A = this chain, B = another copy of it.
Amino acid sequence: MIIVTKSGTTDEALDAIREAVERTGLATHLSRGEQRTIIGCIGDERLLNAASLGALPGVESVIPILKPYRQVSKGFRATHTVVEVGGSERARFGDSTVVVAAGPRSVEGREMLLRTARSTRDGGAAVLRGGAFKPRSSPYAFQGLGVEALEFLAEARAETGLPVVTEVMDTRQVETVAEYADMLQVGARNMQNYPLLSAVGEVRRPVLLKRGLSATIEELLLAAEYIVAQGNDQVVLCERGIRTFERATRNTFDVAAVPVLKRETHLPVIVDPSHAGGRADLVAPLAFAAIAAGADGLIVEVHPAPASARSDGDQSLDFEAFGTLMARLAPFAGAAGRTMGTLQEVPA
């Protein structure tokens, strides 16, 4: 950490600042420039409360040098983390393949789910997604079928072999959802719901962590750190668009987050092109861009009849469009030095 002092700061004030730092066990190192004196703080800067040091007389700014996350950073682990999802057959996020999770935004019924699961499996999906508990901005909107949907998801898995990922929104639901699902999703709106992050860190299920609408990449990594710090390092990160001034798309897909994350962390990184653009006609180009930029996979909304979906059908693909997407995706995966990921049987 570096403390920049105001011009004209007295030696007394400088001493007070150094003392405040040294009280925490760090050493200080003074560097007098022509216009500013700079105090370097040597040691584990995470022990310091940067924002409060800013309240000391003479301090102009406090600049952290180290990244605030540890266990999720590249430096902490030399190899890529591969996150395995499923039981006797498994999807593997983070190896050299492109893994696609697909399914309906909300599980609206047993039949529609089974049909979608079969069709997406045939199309090449390796994970089944489907919302049982849905975060909706209006209290009057459809909130999901709840536990009933979890049962349908389990049935669809039994039939198709696809492992299941579904969202959990409430600390009180974590155990129940973990009983049914192979992977727990923490949605964008809950990316900084710290009790929930801790709770999913305590179960032995992989976690799909979506970036918040206005979360920086650093905050996404800190959210992952919450989960890993509880002992669960099976975390897949997901870029799904951020909120900006542009309204031609529902969100702004921050494709650069993919290579930035791949440089910062050993965790797998996937993309949700359905939410990122919010328009069915953009799912394919954004999916291609994601894979070209180095993403480890995708999560895509598929619905048997988007126009009658109970929420946001305009960003869902129908079965045919999903099939076309998968066929066109393969050459991009190839250009990126990858193959399309499939389910892999686990040796007994």
Contacts and interface: CB of A to CB of B under 8 A. Distances in A.
Interface of A: 2, 4, 7, 20, 29, 31-36, 38, 40-44, 46, 49, 51-56, 63, 65-66, 68-70, 75, 135-140, 143, 169-173, 189-190, 192-196, 198, 212-214, 216-219, 222-223, 225-226, 229, 242-249, 252-260, 263, 276-277, 280-282, 285-286, 288-294, 306-316, 331-332, 334-336
Contacts of A336: 288, 332
Contacts of A66: 35-36
A141 to B, nearest CB: 8
Given A139-B226, A252-B252, 14 more contacts: A31-B40, A33-B42, A34-B43, A40-B40, A63-B63, A68-B138, A193-B193, A214-B245, A216-B245, A244-B244, A253-B254, A260-B282, A285-B292, A288-B292
23 contacts: A2-B38, A33-B42, A33-B43, A38-B40, A40-B40, A51-B312, A51-B313, A53-B307, A55-B280, A68-B137, A138-B225, A139-B194, A189-B192, A214-B245, A216-B246, A216-B248, A248-B257, A249-B260, A253-B256, A255-B289, A256-B282, A288-B293, A332-B332
A171 B196 CA distance: 10
A63 B308 CA distance: 17
A222 B332 contact: no
A249 B261 CA distance: 11
Contacts of A311: 49, 51-52
Contacts of A41: 33
A4 B40 CA distance: 11
A252 B256 contact: yes
A40 B86 CA distance: 48
Interface centre among A4, A20, A243, by most chain B C-beta atoms within 10 angstroms, is A243
A140 B46 contact: yes
A232 to B, nearest CB: 12
Contacts of A172: 171-172, 195
Q: Specify the main secondary structure of chain A where it touches its partner.
A: mixed
A254 to B, nearest CB: 5
Contacts of A293: 285-286, 288-289
Nearest to A63: B63
A60 to B, nearest CB: 9
A285 B307 contact: no
B195 A33 contact: no
Contacts of A217: 246, 248
A249 B244 contact: no
A335 B257 CA distance: 22
B51 A314 contact: yes
Contacts of A56: 307
Nearest to A330: B335
Given A216-B247, A244-B252, A286-B256, A54 B139 contact: no
